[in-house]
Structure 1
């Protein structure tokens, strides 16, 4: 069957169906691209937030260790004791 043999009514229906298919595919592509961009931005933001939290956690842990060492270094034995006393104190 050739297109010439179709009536005007069928040609219009085929045209409308073709337009609907094209619009549907276009809409799906736009939504997919937009969703991918949103997800990408969300993942990047979450990773940055997680990295910042981990950095703060490590910094806090290091500050605690530094304070522990300062307390340890300022004990009477460490400041005024002999090497033997310091050696016994550390064991």
Structure 2
């Protein structure tokens, strides 16, 4: 962290403050780094979830396109079968 990084003040319930203090002691690090690490992990999980949702949406789009193509080919085959030769 650079000294020029933005600063925010956050009000926390006492239980969270105590948790952060304990984590900082355990990891021999600052309370600030504990908070930054937690927020980065949360951001990473959100990005991963977003990627999963996007991949699922793309898979569904491809499935629908394949279903549409299959219906179109099936309809053409039925039309060819009923057309006089």
SS in 1 for 2:51: helix
TM-score of the superposition, structure 1-length normalised? 0.59
Task: Name the residue aligned to 2:31.
Answer: 8
> Are 2:78 and 1:41 aligned?
no
> Are 2:53 and 1:30 aligned?
yes
How many residues are aligned here?
A: 61
Unpaired segments ≥5 residues, structure 2: 1-22
Map 1:48-87 to 2 at 5 A: 48-60=71-83, 63-64=84-85
- Any runs of at least 4 consecutive aligned residues in structure 1 with deviations exceeding 4 A, and if so which? none
TM-score of the superposition, structure 2-length normalised? 0.63
CA RMSD of aligned residues (A): 1.5
Query: In structure 2, which of residues 39, 44, 48 is the aligned counterpart of residue 21 of structure 1?
Result: 44
Structure showing greater radius of gyration is 1
Unpaired segments ≥5 residues, structure 1: 65-91
SS in 2 for 1:17: helix
* 1:18-60 C-alpha deviation (Å, 9 max, x unpaired): 0111001100111111111111111101100111012212321
